[in-house]
Amino acid sequence: MRDTIYCVFSVLTTLVLAVVSLRYVKDFYLLSFFYSFQVHLAVAAAAASIAAFLVKRHWYALLTLGVSVVLAAHGVVMMREFVEPAVEENRPALFKLMSFNIENDNFANGPAIADMAIASGADVINILEAEPLLSELPRLLKTYPYYIGCGVGMQECDTLVLSKRPLIEPRIRNLGLLWRNRLTISTIDFDGQKVNFLAAHLTKPYYDEFHGLEIEDLAEIIPTLPGPLVLAGDFNTSILAPDVQYLMRSQGLGTVSLEPATWPIAAGAFGIPIDHIFSNAPLRLKSVSRIKDGFGSNHFGLMAEFAVDP
């Protein structure tokens, strides 16, 4: 019986470690969902290895434990690779941004989400899967008179960008080949400092190779926008995904020390950050926090403050 239990633990641990380790050989899109959980899976594999060793003292359990620790540690290293230096607390924020995928069938919570947005104090708001806010637009526009999406620039109501300040040359682009009009691009002038805003909604990473193609499109678009830049939205994958890592490195994007987990809602702080807010120099993130209430969405929203280096 002891040998059987040990064998089960060892086989399951080996399979998990093999799946996670394949990222170092090739970025298989069918496994990309698991790459986002590298740290979670490695910690689980380490626990299983310890359990197997307690059942039966065998060298293989120590081997899988060692591999698990290495994968977990490297996952943490990769998450911290793009962390920007902390901004001094006394430095005033240039602007505040909210980004939130509210889920397109979440109509019951549309009014509450609109109330929260109006009271948030954000200068710019990105709403993804924004259909539940379509009926709330008239009162949202009293606080945020400038917007794109939901009938302006596109008929769909997937991506909605609201601003207290004029949007300079707002436009909408397709990302990849699967969905239309899932990227908005605009520029906002904050008292002489112009900032480019990209609000993106990427497809799920295991839908063939579409996610990688969308990342490639972003990597082509970002260099055409000179000056400070914000890229925010629902990436449907964490910063550990190989294609997101490529985007961050190639475009010089940065993030905060610990991105808040935004999915799944039930996991709370133990979930993974698949909704992101990135910036490039000289724009820096002063803070990013999770909106405490999910308002019926399957994602948590994010609130961020930005500062600009002299």
Query: What residues make up the domain containing 157?
Result: 95-308
Q: Are residues 12 and 107 in the same domain?
A: no
- Which of 131, 126, 128 lies closest to 110 in space, CA to CA? 131
For 194-250, the pLDDT digits (tens) are: 999 999 999 998 887 899 999 999 999 999 998 899 999 999 999 999 999 999 999
Report if residue 86 sits inside a domain.
no
> In the chain, how long is the greatest CA-to-CA distance?
73
Report if residue 297 sits inside a domain.
yes
pLDDT value at residue 87: 84
In which band, very low, low, confident or very high, does the pLDDT at 253 lie, cut at 50, 70 and 90?
Answer: very high
Burial of residue 122 (CB within 10 Å: 0-12, 13-18, 19+) is: buried
- Which of 95, 93, 99 lies closest to 302 in space, CA to CA? 99
- Which of 259, 236, 246 lies closest to 32 in space, CA to CA? 236
Q: Residue 155's domain is classified under what CATH number? A: 3.60.10.10
Q: Are residues 73 and 113 in the same domain?
A: no
Q: Are residues 145 and 199 in the same domain?
A: yes
For 159-170, the pLDDT digits (tens) are: 999 999 999 999
In which band, very low, low, confident or very high, does the pLDDT at 97 lie, cut at 50, 70 and 90?
Answer: very high
pLDDT value at residue 250: 95
Burial of residue 11 (CB within 10 Å: 0-12, 13-18, 19+) is: exposed
